[in-house]
Structure 1
Amino acid sequence: MGKCRDLLSPQPNPLLLTVRDIRNRYHFWKTTHVLNKMSSTELSSLICLLGTLSISEYGHPQTSSYTHPRASQMQASTFAPHWAFIEEIVGDKHRLRYSLLPSDHYWLMRAYLVQSREHLQNDPSKARQMLTKVEKQYFSLCATTSDPDVYVSFFDALAASPPALVHQFATSLLKALHTSRYGDETNPDAFFHLVLRCGNQLSGALKEELLHAVGAHVARTAKVPFSLATGGSELAPPDIDLLVAALASALFSPGGAAAEQPAIRWSIAVASRLFNPDSVIKTTIDVRWNYVLLLALARTRATDGAGQVIPPAYDPVQQAAVVEWRTVCVLAAMENLFRSTESGGASLGDDVVRGFSQVVRRVWREWTTVHPSVAPPRTLLVTRIICASFLRLGGQLKDKALVEVCRDFCVAAGLWSVRETRPETETGLQLLASEQLYASLVCGTFFERALVDLMVYTNRMHVLRSAVDTAIVRYSRTDPEHAQELVAWARSRAVQPSDTVVAAVGVALAKHGISGFLDRYLNDALLGPELRAKVVSVHLQMYMRYGRRFLDPADVVERMKPFFVLAAQLQTPNPLLRRLRGVLLTLVQHQCAPKVVKIVEDVSGHHSLWFSALFYTRILRALLEHRQFRLAQRTLSLCSSKHPENAERWTSLVLFKLHRVRAKRIVFRLMGHSRLSRNALMALVRSRARRSDPIKATSRTTSLWMEDTHSWRQTVHALVLKGRFVAAKQLFSAVRDRASPSIRTSIGNTILHGYILRRSVSNRRRAEMVVNTYREFKEQYGFVPDHVTVNILLKAQLRCTEDVDALMARQLFDVLIRRGYPTGSGAAMTDHGMPDPPPFGMQASPVETVIVGQLELPKVGTPLQYKSHVRPLYKMFVTAFYQRGDVAAGRKVVGIMKALEAQGWGSSRRV
C-alpha cells in the first residue's frame, strides 16, 4: 500500500506501477478487508490517475483541474479506458461511507458518458438512463465548481443524445451564456456544436433567445476601447483561421482577452453590424442564424449543416458586413475541406474542381466590388490574409485566371507596401508572398519566372526565403524530386533555402522510396552534421524495412565508414548509432557478414564505447544463425577483449550453437583456448546427452508412409515443434500434389501456427513470418485459407501490442462482427441476411478491409462453427484486450460468449 501511496503522491518518485499491478493490489486489499486504510483523498487521487489514462494518449496526456500529474510518467500500455475500475472505486467509497469529491463526480460523469455513447445505437433506453446519471453528476458539480471541462463534457453528452434532449441542451447552454462564466472557452464550442447538429430541431423563439444573448455581448464588447499591440512579431503565422478565431472572439470572448487578437477591431466592427440588437432588422432571425452557421462550418471540417440561403440586405453598410462575414467563412470552410481531403489521400474530380472554382470566383467578385465607403474598417493584415486565402485556393484549384486577378488586386491595393517606421505594416506580408509563389508554381509558371515576379513586389530577403521554403516543403509532400529541383533553382538565384527545409526534402525522398540522392545530402557542405544525420537515419530506416528493394546492401556497406565518421561529428550520436547498429545486424542477413565484422573491428578500435555488450550478443547470435561460425569465433575474441566480464557467457552461447549444428572441429578448438567454468561444461555435456535427433530425411519419411495423410500431419507437427520449419515446408512441398485441399489447408495451418509459437523472436517478427509464409503457400502450394487460417493471422496481429492498441482492437472486432460473426444481440446472417450490430459502435468505412502486415485478411465463404472458429477467436480478443488494459472491452466480449452459449451456440451450431 505504501508503494501505491508513493505513486499517487505529487512528489517525484522513480517507482512506477502498471494499471494491472494497481488493480491486483486493490483487489487484494479489498478481499483482505484492509481497503479502509486508504483515505478518501487517496482513492480520489487513484480515480484521477485512472481517468487521465482513460482519456489521454501516450506522450500527450491531457491536463485540467481533475487530471493527475503522474500520468505523463506512466507506461504506454497503461493509456487505455479504465471506466469500469473507476466505477468500482466510487462504489467502494460509498460502501466505506466516504464523501465524493468534485473530481470523483467529474470522472464518474465521464464514465457514464462513455457508456451512454456505447449504448446509443444498440440500446437507446439504456443510453437515456446513462444520460440521466450524467445529468445527476453534472448538477452535483455545478454547485461546487465552475471548471470549463465540466460544461463541455455535459454539453457533448446532450448534443449526442436523442432529439428529445436537444431542448434541454439549448436551455442549459443559454443559462451558461447568461452567467458570469460567459467567457469560458467551452461556450463557443458548445454553441457551434448546437448550431451544426441541432439547428433544425430548435424553435424560433429559442433561436431568438440565443441570438439575443450573443448580440448583447457584441454590444457590450463594441463599447470597450481597444489598444492593439504594435510590432511585427506574432506568436503564430497569420492565416484565414486567425480571422475566423477573431470573429468567434467578437461573439464570445471578453473584451480584455480578445484585445490581444491582431484582427479583433475588424471582427468587432463586422459583428456589430450583424448581431448588435440596435442595428439589425428585427425580422432576420433565420438570416442571423445562418451567419453563425457559416461561422460554425468555418471552424470545423464538418460538411453537415442545414440552413437557408442568406438574402441580400437592404442597408448597404449591413450588406458589406454580410459579404465580409460570408467571404471569411466560405474561404475557411473550403480550406478545411481541402486539408481533410489531402490528409485522407483522396482526390477531387474535375467537375467538383470546376464547381469549387466557380464558387471561389463568385465570392471574390462579391468581396472586391464592395465600395470602400461602406466596407468594414479592414487593417492591412486582414486584407492580406483574405487575399492570401484566395491565392491558396486558386492554386489548389489550378485556376490561373483567379491567381492573376488576385495578384493584380494585391498590387493595386498596395498590399506589398511596407513602412520602415511602422513594423506592424509588415505583418502578413510573408503569408501573402508564400501563397503567391506557390500558387504560381502550381498553375504552371516556371520557378525563375514566379520568383522574379515576386521580387518585383518585394525585395526583403527573409520574405523571399520564407516563400521559397514554403513552396519547397509543400512540394516535398507530394513530389519530392520536384522539390529537390526547386532547391537547386533557388540556390542558383541566390535565394538560399533554409537548412531545415533542404533536410526535409532529403527525408521526403527517402520516405517516398527514392534512395539515389543519398550521397548528395551526405556530402552537402551547407548542411550541418545534425541535419545530415537526420537524412541518413531515415534512409537507413527505410533500408531496414524494405531491404534490397530500397538500397543495395553492397552500397550500404561502402557508406558505413562515412556514416560512422558523421556520427563522430555529432554532439549526441546515440540516435544515429542505434540506427547504424541495427543496419549492421541487417547486413548480416544480406550476406555481408565478413565486411560487417571488419567494420565492427575498425570502429571498436577507435570508439570502444559505441558498441555495448548487448550489441555484441546480438551480432554473435546473428552470425551463428546465418552459419557464419568462423566469423562468430573471430567476433567472440573481439568482444571478449572489450567486455571480459561477459566472456564466459558469450563463449557458452557460441559453444552451444556450434554443438547443436555439430561443428565439432570448431567446438574442440574453442574449448581448448577458452576458460569455461565447470558448470558451463557440465551444462554442455548434459545438453548433448539430452539431445534427441529429429527426423533426418524428409524424403525418407514421405516414401515410408506414402498416402497416410494422418502421418503427414503428425510429421509436420513434430518438425514444427523442433523448430525445423524448412524441413516442414519440404514435406509440405512433397505431398501437396497428392493431398486434398483440406489436407493442404490443415498442414499449412500447422506450419503457420508454429511461427507464432517460436521463442526468442519478437511479436512483430512473428507476424511478418506468418504473413510471408501465408503468401508463399497461397502462391506456390495451392493453399486455400479457412477460418482457422483467419484466426492464426489475427492472432499474429493481436500479439503486436506496439502496432495494435486498444482502440484499433475494438475497431477490428467490430469489422469482424460486420462480416458475420455473431454477438447474441441480434439475428444471425442466415436468418435475415444482416449481421449483428457491432458491440463497440465504431464507425464503419465504405470499404472495410483488415490488413495484417501488408496482407489483406482473406474472406472465407464456408460456414462458421462456434467451437472451432468463433470461440477461439473471441478468447484471443479477450486476452488482447486485457493485455492492453481495456478491461471494459474484454468483459464485453466475455459477455458476448456467455450470451451465445446461453442461446445454444455451443452445441455445434453454425453461422
Structure 2
Amino acid sequence: MWRWCLRTTRDVSVVASGIALNRTRLPFHHVSFLRQYVNTYATHGRRCYSRPYKNSSEGTFASTDSSNAGAIALDQTSNISSGTGGLSTAEGAATNVGGPVGHIDASAHSGVDDVLPARLSDSSHSGPQQEDAPPVLDDRPGSLQAVTGTSTPQDESLRSSPADRARVLKELLASDRPIVPSPKSNIVRYIYDLYHSASRDVEQSPLTSAELSSLISLFGSLSLSAPQQVYSSVYRHHFLPHFPETAFRPHWTLVKVIIHRKRKLHMPLSKADRYWLMRAHLAQSVDEPREALLQVARMQYECLRSHRSVEIHISYLQALLSASNPDRIAEAARRLCDLIAWYDEWTPHLLRILWQVVFDATLSLGLKADFLSALRQRLSTSSCDLHSRSGRPGGADSAETQRIDSNLRPLGPIGVRDLVNSLRNSCFPSARTHVILETQLSQWARRLASAVFGSLEEGGKLVETQWNCLVLLAVALNRQGRTSGPTALIAHDGPHSAAAAEWRAICVLASLERLVDPASEATDEIARKLNHILDKLWSSWYDAVTANHAQPTPIIFRSICTLFFRLAGQTKNRTVVERCVDLCDAQKLWSVTDTDPIETSSLQLLAQEQLISALLCGASIERALVYISKRIADPSMLSTVISRAISTLAASHTDTAVDTQAAAHRLGIVASASAITDLAVAVADGGHIAAALRHLDDSQLTHAQHLLIIHHILLAMVRTDHHSRSVYLIGEIADAILRQVSFSAPPPSFRVALQPALLYLPRANQAKTAMSIVQHIVDATPSYFTAGFYGKFIVALLRARHFNFALRVHKLARKLDMRKHLPSLHSFVIYCSRHGAGAIAANVAASIGKPPRQLASAYALTRRLGFRERVPRYVLTLKIPTFLNRDPSRRVHAARAIHALVRVGSLRMAKKLYAQMRTEQDQATRTLIGNDILHGSLFHRRRRNKQRLKKALRTLTELTRDYGFVPDRVTMNILMKSLLEWTSYVDGDKLRGLFDHMVRSGFPTGGLEFPKGVPFGTASGAGAGMINMPSVDSTMKFKRHVRPLYKMFIKAFHLRDDAYGARTVWKILKAVEAESNDLTRMIGKHMARKRIKRRQAARVKAKGGEPCEGSKSGR
C-alpha cells in the first residue's frame, strides 16, 4: 500500500508541475479541456505521465516501457482545442487565448510519421476539395511541449515572440542550406513550427509572397522525393539535398494550407505555386480517382499550359493516362496535339507518354486526323523553327549547337536503329538531337517524314495508313515491344507509296532485329513466320525502290540491306539473300565514293553480314570468300571483314567459324588476333579442349588473349569433367599456364579457374609444374590466392605423395601469415608417418613443440613408432598393447595400432588385440580392422600363389567364425587380388573371362557398349567358380570398390603382357570415373537447390511472422 501511495504522489506532483509551468499557455478556462485532461490521467495512470522520456528531441513525456500508450493518451488530450472540436487556421488563431505554440505529435513513436501532425497527413484527408475551399488544418492551442512543459534543443527559437520566429524563418529561407539549433533536430518539424508560430495573425503575414512560395516549393519537393530517388526539376527547392530520407513523404495538405493562406492575404500565385497546387490535386486524384479532383487540377493546368516547362505537361498527362479511361486518353491526345504544333524539345518522359497514346486502340478517327494534322504542321515549319530556335525560350546558342553536333555524329557504321532514331528526330526532336537535322542522314529522314505525313487529303484510308506508320515507329522505338490493340508489325498489306514502303521496311526491320535473338536457333514455326514477314517486306520495299526514279542514298541502302542479310541468314531465307545480293550489285553498293569513315564502316558491315548470311544458308565457304574478295579490293578491309564474320559465327555456329577460318587461311587471308581468340574461346566452351589448345601456338596472340583462352579451357574442363576424359592434355595445359604466368601475374578473374586446376595437377603427375606456377604468382602478387587455397593445395600434394612440395607450400603460406587456414604441423607429421614419409616426419617433428590436446594421443602413438607408422620396426611395435591399455582413447587408435602390427607381420598379436577391443568398436570399424588383417595375411615372404590364396581363405574363415567379422566388397577385392597374383593358374584367357564375369555380376562399364554385351566377349560361364566369394549386401562405391578392383585387373593384364586387355579395362575405368563424377555433380546441384529452397522457405516464413530456425538463431 505504501508503495502505491508513494507512486501516486510522485505522479500527481509531476502533473502538477507541468500545469504550473504551462498555466499561461493552456486554455484552462475551458472546462472540456480540464475534464479531458483529468480523465486521461485517470484512464492511463502512470503509463502516461510517469517520468520524462529520455530522448529530448522527441519532446514527449511518455514512459520508456509503454510509449505507445502514452502517445495515445497525449493524442486524446491534444484533441481538445479552444472550442468543441478541430478548428481551421483563422478560427483557431482568433479563438485561442494563448495562441498556437506548436503542434501535437500524435505519432511520436511511429518512425517517419513524426514529421507532421496526424491531421496534416494525406491519409486523413477525405473527399475532394474545391479550389477556393480552405483545407482542414489542425490548429490546436498547444504543442506537446506546451502540455508537458518539456523543451528540446529546437524549441529555443520557438519560445520567443512571433516577430522573432518570423525573423528566424526569414533568415533560414534566405540561407543556402537549412540551419537548425541542433544536429539531432527534426528539420521538417522545426520549419513547420516556425511557420505555424509566425502565422498567427490572420490579417497580415510577416512573410512575403516569395518566402511563402519558397515554403510551398520546399514541402512540394519533399512530397515528390523518395529514398534513393531525390526529386529533380526546375521547381525543386535548393534545400532538398540537405534533408534526410525520413523527410521524404507526402506533405500535400500543408502545401494546400500555405497556398490557401496566400489567397486569404490577397497575394498573387506564381507559376510555381500553381504547379505545386496542381501536383497536390493530381496526387490525390491518383489515390482517389474522382472527376472533381481532376477538375480542380485541370483548372490549374489551364493557367500553366502555355508555359514551356516539360514538368507541367508530363505530370498532368501521366495523371490522365493512369486511369485507362477512354475519355481521359482522348483528352491526353488533344493536349499532345497542341504540344506537337509548337513544342520542339521532347524528353524521354514526354516521348513515353506520346507512344502510350499512339498505342491506344480506342482513339477515334477524328483524333487520329487531328494528331496527324499537328504533326504535318510541325514538319512544314520545322526548317523555320530550327533557324529561329536559338532566340526562343529553352533554345541553345550556336556554340552549344556545334558542341552537341560534334558529339552526336556517329563514329561507327549507320544501322537501321540509327535510321529509326533519325526518323524520330525528324518528327519529335529532343534537346540534344534537334541540331543534327542538317546532316545528310537527318535531311533524308526529314524528306521521308514529309513525304509520309505531308499529304493534305483527309481520307479515312490515308489517315489509317499514316497512323499505321506512326505506330510502326513507336513499336520500333519501344524496347518492351508493348502494343495495345492489333499488332502493327504487318499492318496494311495493300499498296503503299514509295515513302510509306521505305518507312515501313525500316521500322519493321528494327522491330524484328530486337525480337530475334542471334545467339539462339529459331524453331521451325518461328522461322516460317519470320520468312513470311521478310518475303512480303522485301517485295514491298523492292517495288518501291524500283518505282522511285530518284537517286538513292547509298548509306541508307547499305543499312537496310545489311539488316535484310542479317535476318535472312538467321532464318535461312536463301531467296531474300540472293535478291539482296543482286540489289547490292545493281545499285553499286560495294564501292565507296570518298574516304568517309562512316561510309567505310558501313561497307564493312554490309560485306560481313552478306558473308555470314551466305554461309548460314548453306553456300560453299570457298565460293563465298571468293565473292567477297572480288567485291572488297583492300586487303586490310578484307581481313577485317572476314575476322569479324568469324567472331560473329563463333558465338552461335562454332563449326562454321572453324571451317571459315581454315578456308581463309588456305586462300592467304589472315584472321586477326581477336578473331582467333573468339574462335578459340568458343571452341573451348564447346568442350573441344585439344582444338582450343592448338590456337595457343598462334604468334599474333597477346599475353591477355592467351590467358583468356586458357581460362575458358580450364572452365570447360571443370564443367564437362575433362579431368578424367582428357588426362593426356593436362601436361600441355600446365605448361601453357606456366609460360604465361612467368611473364606477369594473371588477373584476379583468372583465379576462379586457376585454383581448381592447381588442385588437380598433383593427381596428374604435374606437381612440379603446379608448384612452379604457385611460386611465380606469389612472387609477383603475394595476396593473389585465397586464404583457403593453401590448405587445399597441401592436402592435394599429400594425397599425391609429394611430401616435400607440401612442406614447401606450408612454409610459404606461413610466411604469408596464413597459419589459421593451414593444417597443423603435428597433423602433417602424423600424415607423413602413416604414408611412408618417416624421414620428413622426423625432421619436422624435431622443430615443433608440444601438440595440442586433440592431437596429443595420436601424436604420441606416432612418436612411439619412430615416425615410421607405415612400416615400423618390429621392436617398437612390442609396446603397442601397453600403450593402448594406458591410453583412455584407445578405441580411436585401435585401427592404427593393429595396422602397424599387421605391417610387421605380427598377425597373432593383431588378432589378440582385435578380440580384446572388438566389443568397443562399431560394425564398420570391426570390418575395417578385419579387412586389414586379411590383407596382411597375403604378404608372407614364404607363401606364393596357391599357398597365399589358401592362407587368405583360412584367415577369412577364422575371422568370420571366431571374431564376428562381416565381409564386405573390400573383402571380395582382397580375395580377388590373391587370385589375380596366381599367374600360373589364371592365364590371359581366364583373366579375360574373370573380368567379363565381374561385369555380368553387376560391375559398371561407364555406359560403353560391346558387341557381345561384355568387354572381351567370353562365354557366360567363363570365370565363374574359380573362387568362392562371400555374399555381400553393401552398396558398390566407385572410389572404394570399383577403382581398386579395375586397377588390379590392369596390373594383372600387364603382368601377362596383354596390352589390349589392359587398355580395354583402362578405357572402362575412365568412363566409369567420368560417370561417377557426373553423378556426384548432379547430387551436389540437387543438394544446393534443396538448400536454396529451404532458405527461401525460411525467408517467406519469417516475413509472414512465423518463427523459423534462421530467425531463432538470429535472435
Q: TM-score, normalised by structure 1?
A: 0.58
Alpha-carbon separation, structure 2, partners of 1:561 and 1:638: 20
- Determine the structure 1 residue equivalent to 2:671: 497
- Given the superposition, is the C-alpha separation of residues 154 and 634 from structure 1 closer, same or farther in structure 2, using an over 3 Å criterion? farther
Q: 1:777 to 1:511 in 2, by over 3 A?
A: closer
Deviation for aligned residue 1:795: 5.2
Note the C-alpha offset of 1:681: 3.8
Question: Equivalents in 1 of 2:595, 2:831: separation in Å?
Answer: 83
1:286 is matched with: 464
Pair 452,567 (structure 1): closer, same or farther in 2 beyond 3 Å = same
1:366 corresponds to which residue?
A: 543
**Structure 1 CA distance, aligned partners of 2:784 and 2:460?**
81
Query: Deviation string for 1:5-24 (max 9, x for gaps)?
Result: xxxxxxxxxxxxxxxxxxxx
Alignment-derived partner of residue 790 in structure 2:
619
Of 715, 718, 734, the residue aligned with 1:560 is 734
Aligned-CA RMSD value:
6.0
1:109-508 to structure 2, matched below 5 A, reads: 162-163=324-325, 166-167=329-330, 169-170=332-333, 173-174=336-337, 177=340, 180=343, 182-196=345-359, 198=360, 200-223=361-384, 234-253=410-429, 256-259=434-437, 262-276=440-454, 278=456, 284-300=462-478, 302=481, 304=483, 305-306=485-486, 309-310=491-492, 319-339=497-517, 342=519, 348=525, 351-352=528-529, 354-373=531-550, 378-420=552-594, 426=600, 428-508=602-682
Is the CA contact (8 Å cut-off) linking 1:567 and 1:576 kept in structure 2? Answer: no
Q: How many residues are paired up?
A: 656
State the one-letter code of the partner of 1:191.
L
Deviations 1:267-305 (CA, angstroms, capped at 9, x unpaired) = 111111222375776873322211111222333463855
Deviation at 1:63, TM superposition (A): 12
Superposition map of 1:698-713 within 5 A: none
Equivalent in the alignment of 1:796: 1091
Aligned equivalents of 1:633 and 1:44: distance in 2?
71
Preserved contact between residue 767 and residue 802 of structure 2 (Cα < 8 Å): no
Which residue does the alignment assign to 2:845?
672
TM-superposition CA deviations, 1:554-581 (whole Å, max 9, x none): 5224421321211233586554466423
CA contact (8 A) 1:567 1:573 kept: no
Higher relative contact order (CA 8 A, sep 6+): 1
Residue in structure 2 matched with residue 628 of structure 1 by the alignment: 799
Output aligned runs, 1:848-859, within 5 Å. Answer: none
Q: Is the 8 A contact 1:629 1:658 kept in 2?
A: no
Q: How does 1:714-753 map to 2 (within 5 A)?
A: none
Q: In 2, distance between residues paired with 1:773 and 1:611?
A: 34
Q: Answer yes or no: is 1:877 the counterpart of 2:1082.
A: no
Give 2:904's aligned residue. none
Write the distance in 1 (CA, Å) between the matches of 2:315 and 2:330: 17
Q: Distance in 2 between matches of 1:202 and 1:127?
A: 25
For residues 316 and 674 of structure 2, what CA distance do their matches in structure 1 show?
44
CA deviation digits over 1:742-769, x for unaligned, max 9?
xxxxxxxxxxxxxxxxxxxxxxxxxxx9
Greater mean alpha carbon deviation, residues 146-155 or residues 167-176: 146-155
SS in 1 for 2:467: helix
Hey, what's the Cα distance between the residues in 2 that align with 1:171 and 1:659? Answer: 88
Counterpart residue identity of residue 285, structure 1: V
Match of 2:755 among 573, 581, 595: 581
Any conservation in 1 of the 2:226–2:249 contact (CA below 8 Å)? Answer: no
For residue 697 of structure 1, what is the amino acid of its counterpart?
D
> How far apart in 2 are the matches of 1:606 and 1:771?
32
Cα distance change of structure 1 residues 182 and 92 upon mapping to structure 2, 3 Å threshold: closer
Letter in 1 for 2:779: S
Q: Confirm whether residue 595 of structure 1 aligns to residue 772 of structure 2.
A: no
- The change in CA–CA distance for 1:212 and 1:161 in structure 2 (over 3 A counts) is same
Whether the 8 Å contact between 2:687 and 2:720 is mirrored in structure 1 is: no
1:377-434 alpha-carbon deviations (Å, 9 max, x no partner)? 6422112222323333333343333323322222222222333477776463223222
Give the 3-state SS of the residue equivalent to 2:381 in structure 1: helix
1:604 and 2:763 matched: no
Answer whether contact 1:238 1:431 (CA < 8 A) is retained.
no
CA 1:409–1:587 in 2, change beyond 3 Å: closer, same or farther? same
Cα gap change, 1:337/1:601 in structure 2, threshold over 3 Å: closer, same or farther? Answer: closer
- The Cα shift of 1:701 comes to 11
Show CA shifts across 1:441-465 (max 9, x none): 2222222212222233331334323
Is 1:516 aligned to residue 690 of structure 2? yes
Report the Cα offset of residue 486 of structure 1.
Answer: 1.0
Give the AA of the match of 1:438. Answer: I
Shift of 1:92: 9.8
| Mean Cα deviation higher: 201-210 or 39-48 | 39-48
The amino acid of 1:600's aligned partner reads: M
Does residue 90 of structure 2 align to residue 90 of structure 1? Answer: no
Show CA shifts across 1:199-248 (max 9, x none).
x1223333333323322222222556899999999423212222211111
Query: Structure 1: 5+ residue runs without aligned partners?
Result: 1-25, 54-61, 68-85, 117-124, 703-732, 738-768, 779-789, 801-808, 810-872, 880-889, 898-911
Question: Is this contact kept in 2: 1:270–1:321, CA < 8 A?
Answer: yes
Name the residue aligned to 2:993. none
CA contact (8 A) 1:640 1:647 kept: no
CA-CA distance at 1:623 after TM superposition: 4.1
What is the CA-CA distance between 1:736 and the residue it aligns to?
Answer: 10
Measured in 2, the distance between the counterparts of 1:550 and 1:30 equals: 67
**In the alignment, residue 195 of structure 1 is paired with which amino acid?**
V
Change (3 A) 1:364 1:525: same
Instruction: Output the CA distance in 2 between the equivalents of 1:232 and 1:490.
Output: 37
Task: Tell me the distance in 2 between the aligned counterparts of 1:295 and 1:487.
Answer: 39
CA distance in 2: counterparts of 1:264 and 1:636, whole angstroms: 72
Residue 824 of structure 2 aligns with which residue? 653
Cα distance in 2 between the residues matched to 1:530 and 1:63? 44
